[in-house]
A and B are shown apart, each in its own frame.
Chain A
Amino acid sequence: MNDTGNGKIVFHVENLTKTYHMGEVDVHALRGASLELMEGELIVLLGPSGSGKSTLLNILGGLDTATSGYVAYRGRELTRATEKDLTDYRRYHVGFVFQFYNLIPSLTARENVAVVTEIARAPMKPEEALALVGLTERLDHFPSQLSGGEQQRVAIARAISKNPQVLLCDEPTGALDSQTGMVVLEALERVNTQLGTATAIITHNVDIAAMADRVIHLSNGRISEVTSNAQRKSPREIQW
């Protein structure tokens, strides 16, 4: 439904590199990656471990800084942002979903979402966000009382509750079985289509790529291939 050629550019990435100094060796996580992400687009980042997917996503999310290159979010350069700019950026513009959910164990589902809505501009109500991921019945449960899939859906509700412009998901189904994973992916797809949130999903599961508008293949710190799906599949149609 979203053409790559249409809409506004959300991320503009040019020749991005990232080098980690691990003791006496340098690890080149990114060796000059360039791409663009458009408004409302859903992309999947595919690649083996160490290919640089997470590094790329972390830099896009303002969690990490690049060694060289250029990243702009809606025309604002992230590569030159201060610590405070990056915090504000994460606070008001980005939604995150992680492999290990990263919920606050001492807060209920509703409160875990409220953690974000309390500090965001014009957020949804926590109940609304949890309804979007089908958790209306589990509002007052603590993480310890929820299954893995439910915990991940709370994390998605938390990520979307601020009405973010971008949703960044790092292996959102990595810790889940396929049945539960599918429910989580459906929730992500619903957010993308209903709210028009630009979404980037990291996975090493090739099958998930079928639900994307575009698939970015990474290997060895470089973008090796970009493919477009003419028709996005719904997660229900994906088997793995």
Chain B
Amino acid sequence: MLKENPRVRYSGETMKALDRKIWRDLWRMKGQVFAITLVVISGAATYIMFITTMHSLESTRSRFYRDYNFADVFIHLKRAPENIKEKIKDIPGVKHVETRVMAGVKLDIAGFNEPVTAHILSIPDDGNPLINKLYIRRGRLADPTKDNEVVVNENFAQAHQMNIGDQFAAVINGKWKKLTVTGVALSPEYVLIMRPFAMSPDFKRYGILWMSRKALSRAYNMEGAFNNVVLTLYHGFNENDILRQLDNIVDRYGGFGAYPRSQQLSHRLLDEEFNMLRTSSKIFPGIFIFVAAFLLNVVMSRTINTQREQIAALKAFGYDNFTIGSHYIKLIILVMTAGMILGIAAGIWLGNILGGIYMEVYRFPALNYIVQPWVIVSVIIISIASALGGTLHSLWKSVREQPAETMRPEPPAKYQITILEKIGVGRLLSQPSRIIMRNMERKPIRTFLSILGIAVACATMISSGFFEDSVNFMVNIQFVRSQKEDMAVAFNNPTSYKAVYGLKSLDGVRQAETFRTVPVRLRHGRKNYKTVINGVEEGSQLHPLLDTNLREVRLPREGIVINDYLANMLGIKTGDKITVETLEGAKTIRDVPVAGLVKMYLGVMAYMDLKALNRLMKEGDAISGVYLTADSLVHDDLYRKFVDMPAVAGTIVRRNEIRNFYEVQARGILFFTFIATIMACSIAIGVVYNNARIALAERSRELGSLRVLGYTRGEISYILLGELAIIALLAIPLGFFIGKALCNYIAVALQSELFRVPMVITDTTYSLAASVVLISATISGLIVRNKLDHLDLVEVLKTRE
């Protein structure tokens, strides 16, 4: 028997005898209590971390929106006279209107030899905007009397280490101009800054600039006119009505379609992030609560079982069931307490770290980190309720039995011939192997729960690897297989196809293919969605489309091809007709047959043959830009040339997009993987170690007897560790299965218009998950093996079962 001496001493006067027993029991079970505590810490910490980060970001966002008057409605148009503003203001439900001038510009930043683009927005000459006010982190607003001052967004300033007074060049409406930074700002409109239709934020190559209205209007010949409007609304008015009326007013000025806040890019991206946090805050803590309840169940049923005679004696002395029941409830609560306290503290600490990671990408004036009291209360209630839930059966058993019954020694445990032996495998088994088999079969529920517990650890590990796997897969499909160009050159305005010859003739250019991008609203039945149609050259080499099975498909000459997610959203299938309403140029509304579906993991878009799209637009051979491949040696020269070409709006370099995608994702993924790995290890060790300790406690007498009969340490270890090894090995395939199901759930829960997480789990992830389980099992096994080596053989013989 293992000797476990209670070394804790308490002064007898202050504590009741039964309470002193609790502390000694806790000390005796310290190893197991520690394992349970680890799991409870992980559960409470992840829950607090995800929930508080979500609450904090949500509250920070709504405070920023409120204080800086974030717009409710947005619309971009070609050009409208300023007096239209009054008409817009007269739409019932409109609170404030602000007209703006907005333009895309190319930047030329000294020491940074890659294409950089920006959007430049006007700010009123009399100061900060009324809607989408700027939070000035450093410096001041641009001086309306100067035409060379700008305020830049904070991410961009940091990415280029810009200071107040620094200068850089921009090509504004075709004219090269030197600009001076007067301020660094944040805007509720640009909490997350992403170039439209980009795959991820790129703070180095895309920025937002703010310039005084007067200077910007002059540069774009927009004096007395505007091309962008933002509105705020009163509550209680139908938003769709307002959008329609707004569209009607600006339609003749080349409106691109009004959209509400819910479709605004920065806002939508934040919503997606909150959705992800909400999903995580359900899944991972749920796993831990299950595991903690299971561990407590095993430990408490064992403890109560060994204390049967003590319970009987207490009853014989006149303790009632309630007192005995609450004695064990106190013990359970105490076991949970340390885990909860440390877990809550760790959760707040991790929540601050995670909030900090978010704040590097999502820019708010300051993170308003909040921990709502109900979150703490819910952690405590959920933890204790699940702990009691897991132990209720043993508790009930302990108080129900008659004292006389419990004082009698328990008869030898009942065993039977296992199924494996019945089918004839038994003859191959040695006696120790039989002991293993029969033990596992004797307590099928516990065996199954042990396997399940370890499987869950394995599954947690898989879900952490899944994020990296799916991102890699997404990047491969999106950036490698369906975008083979080195760079995409976009023009300011639709341009004649002939422009491609000029680009093709540049030194080092190998291939050039044209494309046309048209903003549209797609309608099917009552559903509609605003996106773009990408017109691609027939037989495109550089921009192949992948069907839903990820095979390359040819774009049909007629009809439209849409991605599967959009088809699902609009409830449309191949062969149906879809209404295409173009939002640029001569506005047309036409029904176009859906010729096929394609797979895309990022964004929601439609494709057409370039010529078919030109016909739809009733225009000639217009193009929006050119995809190029070129010698890597001339890339830098090409960027320079494109900066100087007035017709070129900007250049996107594919290699940069991939690198940037990883840079932005990396920290988040790394943090998440780290947390998930720690959690998986704590579950794996918690479950395996607890199993091993319980098995050791229950069977030390049996194993000691075998030692007395001449079995070596190795031979008796085989019986105990063999069982644990079988459980761990069975848990791995089950863990793979659960892990896959979990990832599937995550993938479905997180899918949105912005991205769909592909269901991809690599062999590396599977083997890493299996390794974590095996290593945890081995460590636990070694600890138990060490205890087995110190079995007190004499003690074994003195006691009875």
- B794 with A107: CB separation less than 8 A: no
How far is it, in angstroms, between the C-alpha of A111 and the C-alpha of B433 when the chains are bound?
11
Assess A116 versus B710: contact at CB under 8 Å? Given A63-B793, A105-B415, A106-B442: yes
Does A87 sit within 8 A of B, measured CB to CB? yes
- B793 with A102: CB separation less than 8 A: no
Does A149 sit within 8 A of B, measured CB to CB? no
Contact among A87, A88, A102 for B796, CB-based, below 8 A? A102
Does A115 sit within 8 A of B, measured CB to CB? yes
- A87 with B800: CB separation less than 8 A: no
How far is it, in angstroms, between the C-alpha of A32 and the C-alpha of B716 when the chains are bound?
34
Give residues 142-161 of A contacting B (CB, 8 Å): 142-144, 151, 158
Shortest distance from the beta carbon of B466 to any chain A beta carbon, whole Å = 40
Does B414 sit within 8 A of A, measured CB to CB? yes
Shortest distance from the beta carbon of B156 to any chain A beta carbon, whole Å = 71
Give residues 105-121 of A contacting B (CB, 8 Å): 105-107, 111, 114-116, 118-120
- B412 with A107: CB separation less than 8 A: no
Shortest distance from the beta carbon of A121 to any chain B beta carbon, whole Å = 11
- Beta-carbon contacts of B605-627 to A below 8 Å, as 1s and 0s? 00000000000000000000000
Interface of B is mostly: helix
A170 proximity list for chain B (CB < 8 A): 797
> Considering only CB atoms and an 8 Å cut-off, how many residues of chain B contact the other chain?
35
- Beta-carbon contacts of A128-152 to B below 8 Å, as 1s and 0s? 0000000000000011100000010
Does A70 sit within 8 A of B, measured CB to CB? no
B702 proximity list for chain A (CB < 8 A): 102, 104-105
- B710 with A114: CB separation less than 8 A: no
Instruction: Compute the total of residue contacts between A and B using a CB distance below 8 Å.
Output: 99
The closest CB in chain A to the CB of B441 belongs to A106
A64 proximity list for chain B (CB < 8 A): 793-794
How far is it, in angstroms, between the C-alpha of A170 and the C-alpha of B797 when the chains are bound?
9
- B431 with A144: CB separation less than 8 A: no
- A106 with B710: CB separation less than 8 A: no
How far is it, in angstroms, between the C-alpha of A118 and the C-alpha of B430 when the chains are bound?
8
- B794 with A58: CB separation less than 8 A: yes
Does B401 sit within 8 A of A, measured CB to CB? no
- A144 with B710: CB separation less than 8 A: no
Does B549 sit within 8 A of A, measured CB to CB? no
B800 proximity list for chain A (CB < 8 A): 100, 175
> Considering only CB atoms and an 8 Å cut-off, how many residues of chain A contact the other chain?
38
B798 proximity list for chain A (CB < 8 A): 54
A107 proximity list for chain B (CB < 8 A): 415, 431, 434-435, 438
Assess A102 versus B708: contact at CB under 8 Å? Given A107-B435, A114-B431, A170-B797: yes
Assess A63 versus B715: contact at CB under 8 Å? Given A107-B431, A118-B430: no
- A105 with B430: CB separation less than 8 A: no
Does A90 sit within 8 A of B, measured CB to CB? yes
A187 proximity list for chain B (CB < 8 A): none
Shortest distance from the beta carbon of A118 to any chain B beta carbon, whole Å = 6
The closest CB in chain B to the CB of A94 belongs to B710
Shortest distance from the beta carbon of B449 to any chain A beta carbon, whole Å = 20
The closest CB in chain A to the CB of B440 belongs to A106
- B794 with A100: CB separation less than 8 A: no
Most chain B CB within 10 A, of A64, A104, A142, A143, is at: A104
Shortest distance from the beta carbon of B442 to any chain A beta carbon, whole Å = 7
Shortest distance from the beta carbon of A206 to any chain B beta carbon, whole Å = 22
A90 proximity list for chain B (CB < 8 A): 708-710
A99 proximity list for chain B (CB < 8 A): 797
- B710 with A105: CB separation less than 8 A: no
Shortest distance from the beta carbon of A203 to any chain B beta carbon, whole Å = 15
Shortest distance from the beta carbon of A147 to any chain B beta carbon, whole Å = 11
Assess A88 versus B710: contact at CB under 8 Å? Given A104-B702, A106-B415: yes
Shortest distance from the beta carbon of A16 to any chain B beta carbon, whole Å = 15
- Beta-carbon contacts of A82-93 to B below 8 Å, as 1s and 0s? 001001111110
Does B405 sit within 8 A of A, measured CB to CB? no
- Beta-carbon contacts of B766-801 to A below 8 Å, as 1s and 0s? 000000000000000000000000000110111111
Does B712 sit within 8 A of A, measured CB to CB? yes
B793 proximity list for chain A (CB < 8 A): 58, 63-64
The closest CB in chain A to the CB of B436 belongs to A106
Shortest distance from the beta carbon of B474 to any chain A beta carbon, whole Å = 52
Does A98 sit within 8 A of B, measured CB to CB? yes
How far is it, in angstroms, between the C-alpha of A92 and the C-alpha of B711 when the chains are bound?
10
Does A11 sit within 8 A of B, measured CB to CB? no
Most chain A CB within 10 A, of B416, B430, B705, is at: B705
Most chain B CB within 10 A, of A54, A88, A99, A102, is at: A102
Shortest distance from the beta carbon of B143 to any chain A beta carbon, whole Å = 86
The closest CB in chain B to the CB of A92 belongs to B710
How far is it, in angstroms, between the C-alpha of A139 and the C-alpha of B656 when the chains are bound?
77
Does B411 sit within 8 A of A, measured CB to CB? yes
B442 proximity list for chain A (CB < 8 A): 106
- Beta-carbon contacts of B706-745 to A below 8 Å, as 1s and 0s? 1111111101000000000000000000000000000000
How far is it, in angstroms, between the C-alpha of A99 and the C-alpha of B801 when the chains are bound?
12
- A98 with B797: CB separation less than 8 A: yes
Contact among B439, B704, B715, B801 for A106, CB-based, below 8 A? B439
How far is it, in angstroms, between the C-alpha of A87 and the C-alpha of B794 when the chains are bound?
14
- B415 with A116: CB separation less than 8 A: no
Contact among B411, B431, B712, B801 for A87, CB-based, below 8 A? B712
- A100 with B801: CB separation less than 8 A: yes
How far is it, in angstroms, between the C-alpha of A106 and the C-alpha of B701 when the chains are bound?
13
Shortest distance from the beta carbon of B101 to any chain A beta carbon, whole Å = 84
Does A103 sit within 8 A of B, measured CB to CB? yes
Does A96 sit within 8 A of B, measured CB to CB? yes
Shortest distance from the beta carbon of B723 to any chain A beta carbon, whole Å = 11
Assess A102 versus B712: contact at CB under 8 Å? Given A111-B434, A115-B431, A144-B413: no
B413 proximity list for chain A (CB < 8 A): 105-106, 144
- B711 with A119: CB separation less than 8 A: yes
- A142 with B801: CB separation less than 8 A: no
- B715 with A104: CB separation less than 8 A: no
The closest CB in chain A to the CB of B426 belongs to A111
- A144 with B412: CB separation less than 8 A: yes
Shortest distance from the beta carbon of A173 to any chain B beta carbon, whole Å = 15
Residues of chain A touching chain B, judged by Cβ–Cβ distance below 8 Å, are 54, 58, 61, 63-64, 84, 87-92, 94, 96, 98-100, 102-107, 111, 114-116, 118-120, 142-144, 151, 158, 162, 170, 175
Smallest CB-CB A-B distances: 3 pairs: A91-B710, A102-B705, A106-B438
20 residue pairs of the A-B complex, CB under 8 angstroms, read A54-B794, A58-B797, A89-B710, A91-B709, A98-B705, A100-B799, A102-B704, A102-B705, A102-B797, A103-B412, A103-B705, A104-B435, A105-B702, A106-B415, A106-B439, A107-B435, A111-B434, A115-B432, A115-B706, A119-B711
Contacts A91-B709, A99-B797 aside, 14 further interface pairs with beta carbons under 8 A come to: A58-B794, A64-B794, A87-B710, A90-B710, A91-B710, A100-B800, A102-B701, A103-B412, A104-B431, A106-B434, A106-B438, A115-B431, A119-B710, A170-B797
